[in-house]
Amino acid sequence: MQKIIIIICMSIIIVLALSTALVLYINTGRPPSIDETERQVWKSIGYHIILEMDNEDVIVYNYTKDSLLPFGFGTINDTGEIVIEKLYGAPLLNLLFWTDTASGTFHDGVVIDLIGFKKYFERIEDLPDVKIKTFTKNPVHNYEVFFNLFEENYSLFKIANVDWNALYSEYRAKVTEQTTDEELLATFKEMIQLLNDGHTNVLTGLQSGVGSKREKLPGFELYLDNQEKIKKNSKNYLSQKTKCIINKHIEYAPINDDLYYVRVNDFYATDKQAIKDGLTKLQRDLDGISSIIVDLRLNHGGTDYFALQFAELFAKEEVFVFSKQTRVGDYDEFNEPTNIYMSPADHALKAEKVIVMTSNVTGSAAEVATMAFDQMNHVTIIGETTMGVHSDIIMSILPNGWIVTLSAEKYTAADGNVYEQIGLFPDEKVILTEEAVLKGLDTVLERAIQFVK
């Protein structure tokens, strides 16, 4: 009997192991076969991207002057829409986190994204012949690719006051053929922390890696460490249980008959139809409400498209929100700016008073929403200065499979200023204290309620 139990247990273990191996195999990114009769190769201006495609499939490469590595794979449909379905290798990342991601619509060397921003490409005869074109653990090769990704693409060197090129020899001396992964990662951390950029990271696994942001504003840790408590405290001011839309990205409930509270947890939704349906429901439920409080304090970001779609729900007229540029040459050389505008949604809310609450955690796409709200005359922004991280995150792969994220763009607000690493200032500063949090109070929300009385 004991032998039978052992055999059964071993059989279960083998089945589970084989099943796991099969799942990982299925979710390992492998390049499609490009039809040579339809093959085209396009090199981006800025962004270190090369597209190899036919009429159905796309391979996305990252390149530098010395390297070319496949980053992801996907499809292109009849309308030109490019969807990245998998990252190269990275089975766990593909399985647990990555979803089909629309990268924009491609026509004649131009990719237009959902907010109308254009990325330009030039057609080339073939993939470039470079020194590093295979995946390798070699520390020196990884250092070279890492260094060049920033040297050729990073957009905020002037803001960070860093001469990246001058760092090459100093840090190259720390990397040899015998350098361990831990030592290499420590070197990368030292280098990117000079940039102090919340969008710059080196990811070595699902929950491991290093970040660049070293200087955090005073309220950052308070909000970050007490997220659930702050959410719970805010509900003490509501007259009903919150409703959720768009897979809980947005929660809302009335404070009284003519005042609603809307918390946007993040802007990470990418399904256009789901966003449209959710915001339509929000509009119906808040139709006729004269005052609304929007809480962006715990919102780390997401997509600019979702952020602008949300803000348009409150707009009363078309306004200029920000301009966006790509680094295309030297550290301070950018292409012509693309102006991003916002128009009222088809069924925009009629609220006469809108209070937007921000914190030091409010970042990225949530700051795009804040820029949009700042252009509306009936909106008052209260709370604390936002995080100050605006450029889209540009993702790249190193020869050892680590993922690097960096900023390759410059966002300029409607007032003509760049607020990267500075943050957006509220109309009225209201600080949430740890004492208030522990007492179950939300003094920022209390002040917002006073504003609309």
CATH number, domain containing residue 277 = 3.90.226.10
Q: Is residue 400 domain-resident?
A: no
Average of per-residue pLDDT across 124-149: 97
How much is the pLDDT for 29? 54
Do both 31 and 65 map to the same domain? Answer: yes
Average of per-residue pLDDT across 79-103: 71
Do both 198 and 107 map to the same domain? Answer: no
How much is the pLDDT for 19? 41
Neighbours of 93 (CB within 10 A): 18
DSSP 172: H
Query: Which residue's structure tokens are 């004649």?
Result: 108
Do both 246 and 359 map to the same domain? Answer: yes
Is the confidence at residue 357, as pLDDT, over 70?
A: yes
* Helices (runs of H) and strands (runs of E) counted in the chain: 13, 22
How much is the pLDDT for 259? 97
Q: Is residue 413 domain-resident?
A: no
Strands, E assignment, 161-300: 201-205, 208-211, 243-245, 250-256, 259-264, 291-295
Do both 160 and 118 map to the same domain? Answer: no
Do both 68 and 175 map to the same domain? Answer: no
Decide: 63 and 50 in contact? Cβ < 8 Å. Answer: yes
Q: Is residue 405 domain-resident?
A: no
Instruction: Find the CATH number of the domain harbouring 176.
Output: 3.30.750
Do both 302 and 446 map to the same domain? Answer: yes
**How far apart are the C-alpha atoms of 366 and 387, rounded to whole Å?**
10
Q: Is residue 411 domain-resident?
A: no
Do both 440 and 298 map to the same domain? Answer: yes
How much is the pLDDT for 218? 81
> What end-to-end distance do the CA atoms of the chain give, in Å?
77
Domain edge (last residue) among 132, 150, 175: 132
**How far apart are the C-alpha atoms of 380 and 355, rounded to whole Å?**
5
Band of residue 99 on the pLDDT scale cut at 50, 70, 90 = low
Q: Is residue 338 domain-resident?
A: no
Do both 171 and 262 map to the same domain? Answer: no
Q: Is residue 404 domain-resident?
A: no
Tokens standing for residue 106: 């491609």
Domain edge (last residue) among 68, 98, 132: 132
pLDDT digits 0-9 by tens, 259-304 = 999 999 999 998 999 999 999 999 999 999 999 999 999 999 999 9
Residue 68, CA atoms < 13 Å, CB-side half-sphere: 13
Q: Is residue 407 domain-resident?
A: no
Domain edge (last residue) among 184, 211, 238: 211
**How far apart are the C-alpha atoms of 279 and 97, rounded to whole Å?**
24
Do both 59 and 5 map to the same domain? Answer: yes
- Chain centre to alpha carbon of residue 344: 24
How much is the pLDDT for 270? 87
What total of structural domains would you count in the chain? 3
Average of per-residue pLDDT across 316-325: 97
Do both 280 and 357 map to the same domain? Answer: yes
Helix (H) or strand (E) holding 383: strand 379-383
Coil, strand, or helix at residue 137? coil
Is the confidence at residue 187, as pLDDT, over 70?
A: yes
**Domain containing 185: what range?**
139-211
Decide: 411 and 391 in contact? Cβ < 8 Å. Answer: yes
Is the confidence at residue 118, as pLDDT, over 60?
A: yes
Band of residue 95 on the pLDDT scale cut at 50, 70, 90 = very low
Do both 282 and 430 map to the same domain? Answer: yes
Q: Are strands 81-87 and 68-76 parallel, antiparallel or unpaired?
A: antiparallel
Query: Which has the minimum average pLDDT: 50-59, 81-90, 170-179?
Result: 81-90
Is the confidence at residue 13, as pLDDT, over 70?
A: no
Average of per-residue pLDDT across 237-254: 97
**How far apart are the C-alpha atoms of 197 and 376, rounded to whole Å?**
29
Q: Is residue 401 domain-resident?
A: no
Do both 374 and 430 map to the same domain? Answer: yes
How much is the pLDDT for 9? 43
